[in-house]
Every structure is written in structure tokens, then in C-alpha cells.
Structure 1
Amino acid sequence: MDFTYSEEQRMLADSLRRFVESEYSFEKRRRNAREHGSFDRGIWSSLAEMGVLGLAVPADHGGFGHGPASQVVVQRELGRALVQEPVIPSGVIATAILAHHAPAALQAEWLPAIASGDKIFTLAYLEPDSRYRPEVARTTARKAGADGYVLNGRKSVVWHGAAADTYIVSAMLDGALALFLVSRDAKGLAVTGYPTMDRLSGAGLQLADVPATLVTTNGLEALELGLDHGVAAQCAAAAGAIERLIEITAEYLGTRKQFGKPLASFQALQHRVADMLLQKELALSMAYVAAQGLDATDAAERRRKVSAAKVVTAKAARFAGQQAVQLHGGMGMTDELEVGDYFKALTMVDVLLGDTDLHLERYGEAMAA
């Protein structure tokens, strides 16, 4: 896989950089989180127009059909600005599941809607006692009529669940895991949204005889594929966030003075910034590894590379966030600077889409396989 930017990728990256610098300032991001639940319909439409939401959607369904390498380019730029809209849940995870596992009729119905931004999808697979494990589900499905199904159960920590129009829900059907589509306005569905520590939003779902459409009975394979695509995108976004956080920190050290000298002139602080740079390069390299893993034909190889990338990137993200807060001194502990937003977002890298313990276990199982 060639990770040198093509001319098209360079133009896309430059366009996104200009867009987020003008439309995603610190003040606008805070206001978006405070007043709109971290979702701005205008920003979402702009992302769709730029091709971000349809990047991985096949061309015959209104998208661009780009592979994982282009996703690294896009997510790196979005991560630099901490873009809050549900690009990864809808444009990456849901797209991967539907494009690879949904029947042709469902693909024709829903993939164009994802690419255009008309519909927002997210994945509801976690439950209160599942501990990140996709195969664990107490939610059940049963047939209702000739082609319909109804779901009963509870889903928790649904990423961007409050903004979604449609949920991909995992449930047990005849003793095996299956995936279903559930509309936000479905009868019997109760959605409870809440803010999260990184200024995003989550939701809990309560399902009581909720009508649903079957996506696939091969639920575990489809779910793991979608999550792996999400993790790869998350790693690239984290690398972009670390990159921007280093720039913010370097600027602060260059302007803040102590003993009549800029903080940037002190060698000990220079070394700490250098350590942050090393972690950024490590995170970006692992984002490439994860993207490469998505092209693997062997599922064990894909899981090995993606889980390795998740573990290393989460560690790098945590280190960079902590160092940035410390290098800002007392100001780093306040809510006045955007360093705190980056710290919170980078801290959440470890717990979103499976924590370090889970991915270390997956990595070990993939190595054994």
C-alpha cells in the first residue's frame, strides 16, 4: 500500500485543512457542543458536499469508493480540529458493514443516503455487561410476519446515538448474533442522550418490541469488520489531534516567559516536546498499519494489525495529552484553553471501540491463529 499522497488526496487534505481552520475554531467547537449537542447540520452538509461522508461508499451508490489510505488522509485532518460530527460512526463503520454485508436492496436504499448526509447512522452493539465484547448480546430478535423482526433489549454507550436517524443494532437471532436496522422513530424505541467528557454525546437505547430490518445473520463477522474500520479511522484522527496539540503547545512555550526567557528556550521542556513528536510519528505510523490491515484478505491478520495500532495509538494519545497539560502549567488545568479539549479527546481514544485490554487479547489471539 502506497501512503504517499496522490494529487487528489493532497487536494482533499488541503481543502479539509482550510475548511476546519475557518469553520472549526475553538469558540465554534465549544458553542456547538454547548448549544447543539455536538452536531451542526450545516457542518454535516458541508462535509457531505466535500465527499467526506461518501469517501468509502461505492461509486455505484453515490460515493467515491476510496480505500483505507484515503481515509487516513481525511481522518487526520478531521482529528486536527476535533471535528465533533459522527463521521466515523456513519461514514466509516456503518458504511463498511452495509457495503460488505447488507443485501443489494438495502445497499441501494441506504448507502446513497449516507454519502449525501441525508441519513446519520451509528452502531449500537454495547450493553451494560458486555465489556466491549461484540459477541456478547442479551438483546434478542424474533420473527414478526413474513419478512419483519422485532427486537427487545437494551444498548448502552451508543456513540453519537442522540444525533442518529438509524441504528445498526446487534441482537441474538436463533442462537447466533445478527445485525438489524432500527429507525430512530420506531415504535417501542426509547433513546436517552447524554454528553460525554470529551464534549461529544452518547445515548442509551431501550427496545421493547421494536420493529427492525435484518441486515445480516453473519452478525459477528460484519460487526468486527465495521469496528476494525472504525478503529483504523480513529487512529488516524488521534494522530491528527496529537499533531495539532503539539503545535498549540509549541506556540504557548514560545510566547510564555519565565525568568525573562521564553519557556521554549529551556532544554528540559524542549526534550518533552521532542518526546511528544516521537509519539505523534508513532501514532501516525500505526494509523498506516491499521489501514494496511483493512486490505488484508485474512481476518486474523486484519485483527492483529488493527488491534496493535489501537493499543499503540491509545498510549501515544494519552502521553501527548498529559504532556501538553503539564507543559501549559496551571493554565493547562483550566477550561480557558483548548488544550483541555484535546486532552479529553485523546484520553477517550483508549476507551472508544474497545479498550487496551480487549485489543491486547485480540492481538494475542490473532498471533496464535
Structure 2
Amino acid sequence: MDFTYSEEQQMLADSLRRFIDTEYTFEKRRRSARGGNSFDRAIWSSLAEMGVLGLGISSAYGGFGEGAASQLVVQRELGRGLVLEPVTPSAVMAAAVLSAHASAAQKDQWLPAIASGERIVTLAYLEPTTRYRPESARASAERQGEGYVLNGSKCLVWHGEVADAFLVTARVGGSKDVALFLVPRDAAGLACRGYPTMDGLRAADLVLENVVLGAEAMVGQAADGLAALEHGLDHGIAALCAEASGAMEKLIDITADYLGARQQFGKPLATFQSLQHRIAEMLLQKELALSMAYVAAQALDETDPAQRRRMLAAAKVTVAKAGRFVGQQAVQLHGGMGMTDELTVGDYFKRLTMIDPLLGDSDYHLQRFGEAMAA
């Protein structure tokens, strides 16, 4: 896989960076996050017009059919701007699941709408007692005639408040299968409660009480539910790694500018050798994270499941560790100001800190890496 930017990728990166610098200013982002929204419909429409939301969706459904290399370009720029909108859960993860596993009717109904920004779909697979392991799902799907009745709860649904539909995991009654269902937001018996997360985004808890669905709501076959979900999670991990590398890159720029402007003993802080060494260490960690983001993107084309799992797990752990280091160093290098809520450094630190628990923390992925090695 070639990660050298093509002319089209460079144009996309440049236009997206200009858009973030001019239309998605940090003041606007902060107002959105602190106002309890973390979502701007106008920004969402602009991202759709730029092709961000349909990047990985086939041209047959109104997208562009680009691969992981182009997605890395976009996610890196989104990370630099700490974009709040649900690009990763909807345009990356849900789109990947539907593209690979949905029926023709489901694709016709949802993929063009995701690409155009008209609809948002997100994954609902975490439960209070299952940690990161979807195979332990307790939500149930009991057969009723030709359809199913869903009962159970889901937590930490990424951008669940603004979603038009949810990809919900549930254990099919009378079998060991954990199936994936496409549940519309307006389904009778579905309740959604949203709340803010530490990094300025929003999540939601779902309660499903006798939610009646037709057989056509199942994504793929019942036995394929976990495989379909993992396909989406893999794409999400690769997107998170690219996003984190972009956020680290921008945070280092912010910190270097601060050290160049701040004076101590009549000289800029940037002239002190010990601080130069710390910036150099941050740069090394950022480059390591970017390299592992390339590894994660390459993993999406890997046909060997064990090798794919190893690559993604290694990337997730390495990027999370690098992000934590860069964030902590940036806060410390800003001194007492770094601990305040006035500077942008705190927002980047919070987001980089949350990269670890999202889609499986380091402990979980280290275990997956070991299991894949054993396999």
C-alpha cells in the first residue's frame, strides 16, 4: 500500500485543512462541545459536500470507493482539528459494516444517505457487563413470526443522540449466535439517553424493550453478526490511529509555538536544551504513532485474520501509549497554564487520553495480540 499522497489526496488534505482553519475554528468547536451538542448540521453537510462522508462508500451508492490510504489522509486532518462530528462511527465503521455485510435493500436505503450526510448510523454493541467483548452480549433477539423482538441495553453508543439508526448486537434465542440488527431510531420500545464524555464528544445509553423488527432488519446472517461487527471495529481502529497521529502533530506545533513565545531569564523557552530534548521525544512518539497508523491501514487489506488482528492490536496499543506521552508532555511544557481550561492544549490532551479506551483499551488489545500470536 502506497502512503505517498497522490495529487487527489493532497488536494483533499489541503482543502480539508483550509476548511477546518476557517470554518471549524477552535472557538466554534468549543462552543459546540460545551453547549451539549458536539454536532453541527451545517458542518456535517459541508463534510458531505467535500466527499469525506462517502469516501469509503462505493460509487454505486453515491460514494467514491476510496481505500484505507485515502481514509488515513482524511482522519489525520480531522485529528489535527479535533473534529467532533461522527465521521468515524458513521462514515467509517457503520459504512464498512453495511458495505460488506448488508443486503442489497439495506445498502440501497442507507449507504447513499450516509454518503450525502442525510442519515447517521452508529454501532451499539457495548453493554455494562460485557466490557469490550461483544460475544458476551446479553441483549436478546427472540423470534416472533418472521421477525424478532429485541430486549436489553447498550451503553457508550458513540454519538447515539444524533443517530438515525443503530447497528445493535443481540443474541438470537435458541442459538449461540450473536446477530447484528439495523434498528431505526424511531422504533417503538427504543429509548435513548445521551450524555457528554470527557473529550467533549457525546455518547448515549440505549434501552430496548420489546422492539419488534422484521426479518429484513438483520444484517447478513445470524452467524455472521460478530464477523460483521469486527469488520466495522477494525476500520474504526485504523481511523482512530490516523486521527491520533494528526492530533499529536498539531499538539506538538502548539507546544513548540508556546515555547518559542514564552520567555524565561530573558530568553525564549525554546532555547533551553532540556526542553528541546522533550520536544524531540514528542516528535519521535508522533512519528512512531504515524508509522503504526500506516500499519493499521495496511491491516484492513490483510486476508489472514490472525495477522490482521495482530497488526491492529499492535497499532492501537502503540498509538494509545504515544498519544498519552505526547499529551502529558504538552501539558507539562505549558507549565501552570497547561492545567487550565483556557488553552487548547487541554482539549488535545483529553482527546488523546480517550483514544486508549475507545474500541478496546491497551489491556484488551494486548490480550488479543497474544491470542493472535498463539493462533
Partners of 2:36 and 2:196 within 8 A in 1? no
Partner residue in 1 for 2:73: 73
Measured in 2, the distance between the counterparts of 1:180 and 1:336 equals: 43
Q: How does 1:186-265 map to 2 (within 5 A)?
A: 186-212=187-213, 213-216=217-220, 217=222, 218-265=224-271
CA contact (8 A) 1:134 1:224 kept: no
1:322 Cα offset (Å): 0.2
Q: Deviations over 1:95-144 (max 9, x none)?
A: 11111111111111111111011100110000001111121100000223
1:129 alignment partner in structure 2: 129
- The root-mean-square deviation of aligned C-alpha atoms, in Å, is 0.9
The residue type paired with residue 183 of structure 1 is P
Contact 1:182/1:211 (8 A) holds in 2: no
Alignment of 1:53-64 (within 5 A): 53-64=53-64
Describe the superposition over 1:299-331 as per-residue Cα deviations: whole angstroms up to 9, x where unpaired. Answer: 111111111100000000000000000000000
Q: Deviations over 1:223-279 (max 9, x none)?
A: 111101000000000000000000000000010111111110111011000000001
Give me the whole-angstrom Cα distance separating, in 2, the residues matched to 1:211 and 1:33: 34
State the alpha-carbon separation in 2 of the partners of residues 169 and 76 from structure 1: 28
TM-score, structure 2 as length reference: 0.97
Where in structure 1 do 4 or more consecutive aligned residues deviate above 4 Å?
none
| Alpha-carbon distance between aligned partners in 1 of 2:212 and 2:244, rounded to the nearest angstrom | 37
Is 1:318 the counterpart of 2:324? The answer is yes
**Counterparts of 1:36 and 1:194 in 2: how far apart (Å)?**
8
Q: Which residue of 2 aligns with 1:138?
A: 138
Displacement of 1:23 in angstroms is 1.6
| Structure 2 partner of 1:43 | 43
Structure 2 counterpart SS, 1:158: strand
The Cα offsets for residues 179-220 of structure 1, whole Å up to 9 and x where unpaired, read as: 001111111111010000000011000000113311122111
Pairwise CA distance, 1:162:
1.2
Whether 1:333 and 2:339 are equivalent positions in the alignment is yes
Unaligned segments of structure 1, at least 5 residues: none
- 2:363 and 2:23 map into 1 onto residues whose CA distance is 37
1:354 corresponding residue in structure 2: 360
Paired letter, 1:236: A
Letter in 2 for 1:192: R
Q: 1:65 is paired with a residue of what secondary structure?
A: coil
Paired residues of 2:141 and 2:150 also in contact (CA < 8 A) = yes
1:135 aligned counterpart, secondary structure: helix
Aligned-pair identity (%): 69
State the Cα distance separating 1:36 from its structure 2 match: 5.1
Contact 1:72 1:236 in 2 (8 A): yes
Relative to structure 2, which stretch is displaced further, 208-217 or 127-136?
A: 208-217
CA shift digits 1:128-184 (9 cap, x unpaired): 0111112110000022332x3221001011111111111000000132110001111
Q: SS of 2:355's equivalent?
A: coil
Unaligned segments of structure 2, at least 5 residues: none
